[in-house]
A and B are shown apart, each in its own frame.
Chain A
């Protein structure tokens, strides 16, 4: 088992390295001169002169060849120094550390709500296939899968803050600001999750030990919420971790719409401002989250499987 994880971690490092390299070269496809763009951003149109641009370029090392920049930057990250933001001057890691809790909170709350809503609905639709509840949840689920997140966000803003004037549509000052973004994420996730819960539950319902439970005359509710729920736990947990990743990914668009001060908005601003150090650090951060969650799920899988076999 340890060998397996060692291999996995080695693989993760290779993948992270590849991701960083890829974005580095993707960023430098650009036609415009980065120093000019950053100078424009920093000092405005009137104030910049060729001297200012040159000074900025040499300060940030933007005038060296791409390959030199790449190796220099790589050396820096290996020492744990991600540099400072080209726009604000604050160390990149500090800024990420400041913003990430907001994104994390959104993702976690939405996944939690998804789990609470989707698990019972999915199990019920599996148990009573093709009945009214099953049909209606499947119908709604297929809609949820198809609506792009930004459109759902706009619809919610339109309904709840423009028409009903109930909820604030941007910023993050008090708990009511959480409601709309969390709702958007949760609504999008439940569609997928119900489908997965349903298909997993159908399989479990067809298995022999559940058939035996039926034969013993146990009530439907007992079977569903003891036998089925117990066995659905691991696959659904795996799937929810994927949903968590999707929520983090979706944060880039959702946070832009709701002006939410998380890493999604940070990334979007960095991309628009061509803040190279920030983009690099955030790409690495996103990739690291994905790898970490995948690794965690694998470990959890093995751990839970082992404990199950140990008890029996």
Chain B
């Protein structure tokens, strides 16, 4: 349990460096690209990739490379915020309903049922249309739609731990419920939660860019990957680089988070744990 992450094995993984790169560019995009992502230059519109403009220029003569780099900040930042909010909300409800059971459990589970029956993108689109576009709204919308998955899984994990002997002992000696939940249950389910969170980052990035792609998430002129893709689609015949490069970055980022999640899952007992809760009839866990 102490060694959740085998950092040693990560040193050999290219995706680890890609994520590191993205986080660094997210912190300061100007480190990588000198151009301002908002500066337009109409005399140099729709130029193909060259040494000067690594990813070419868009229809307003803006540097696509610097826009993609600045997009890292938006994508990683927004999906991290969504992750934290939905994990905090869904996680607390999940632990509470797993630990207490009864009507709390019933109530929370019925609500998650409702959210899980309607496709996520459907709820997100309806909400996005009424709240309007913008980074803040995207974070609110996706936190509202994404918390249910975490609540469900964490409830399952808590339910499993709750019946362990050490938790029952803790109850018998009269420890407070809040203490048991925070000090006994939470640490035990932390590794699978970490795996879930890593995989969740990838899912959040896809959801953010899907909303932006449909024009209801983060919109121009903000350099968001999904919005750039949406904008670039109109120029697919004349300047395909406008759509292709942001898409490559979305895919690679999601891929890296997925691979990292798989790695974390196989390093600790995270993935097995994670799988067990979804399919109780499969004690070995799906590989």
B273-287: contact bitstring with A at CB < 8 Å (1 yes, 0 no)?
000000000101011
SS of A interface (majority): helix
Q: How far is B237's CA from A146's CA once the two chains are assembled, in angstroms?
A: 25
Residues of B within 8 A of A245 (CB): 119
The answer to whether A271 and B126 touch across the interface, beta carbons within 8 angstroms, is yes
Q: A199-B287, A253-B121, A271-B125 are in contact. Are A27 and B210 (CB under 8 A)?
A: no
Q: Assess the A252–B122 pair: CB atoms within 8 A.
A: yes
Task: Determine, out of A16-24, A72-80, A81-89, A177-185, the stretch whose residues face the partner at the interface.
Answer: A16-24
Taking CB atoms, residues of chain A closer than 8 Å to B115 are 22
Closest-CB distance, B244 to chain A (whole angstroms) = 7
**In the complex, B39 has a CB within 8 A of chain A:** no
Point out the residues of chain B lying under 8 angstroms from A150, CB to CB.
209-210, 213, 229
Stretch of A60-68, A94-102, A151-159 at the chain-chain interface: A151-159
Given contacts A256-B214, A272-B129, contact A143 B117 (CB under 8 A): no
In the complex, A52→B169 CA distance in Å? 71
Number of interface residues of A (CB under 8 A): 51
Q: Given the complex, which residues of B lie within 8 Å of A29, measured CB to CB? A: 127, 130-131
Find out whether the CB atom of A249 lies under 8 angstroms from the CB atom of B251.
no
Q: Could you tell me the distance in whole angstroms from the C-beta of A129 to the nearest C-beta in chain B?
A: 10
Q: Which residues of A contact B122 (CB under 8 A)?
A: 249, 252, 267, 282-283, 286
Q: Determine how close the nearest CB of chain A comes to the CB of B113; give it in whole angstroms.
A: 5
Q: Which of A11, A29, A148, A256 has the most CB of B within 10 A?
A: A148
Does B117 lie within 8 Å of A287, measured CB to CB?
yes
Given contacts A148-B210, A151-B247, contact A162 B123 (CB under 8 A): no
Contact A26 B127 (CB under 8 A): yes
Q: If the complex has contacts A18-B114, A249-B119, A268-B125, are A146 and B233 also in contact, measured as CB distance less than 8 A?
A: no
Q: Taking the complex as formed, is A59 at the interface, i.e. its CB lies under 8 A from any CB of chain B?
A: no
A294: nearest chain-B partner, CB-CB: B117
Is B206 part of the contact surface with A, judged by Cβ < 8 Å? yes
Cα A257 to Cα B214 in complex, Å, equals 9
Judge whether A203 is part of the interface by a CB distance below 8 angstroms: yes
> Which residues from B are CB-within-8-Å of A28?
130
A-B contact pairs, 23 of them (CB 8 A): A18-B110, A26-B126, A27-B126, A30-B129, A142-B262, A143-B255, A145-B255, A146-B252, A146-B258, A147-B251, A148-B209, A148-B210, A150-B213, A151-B247, A162-B240, A199-B286, A203-B286, A249-B122, A252-B121, A267-B122, A271-B216, A274-B129, A286-B118
Residues of B within 8 A of A (CB): 110-111, 113-115, 117-123, 125-127, 129-132, 202, 206, 209-210, 213-214, 216, 229, 233, 236-237, 240, 243-244, 247, 250-252, 254-255, 258-259, 262, 282, 284, 286-287
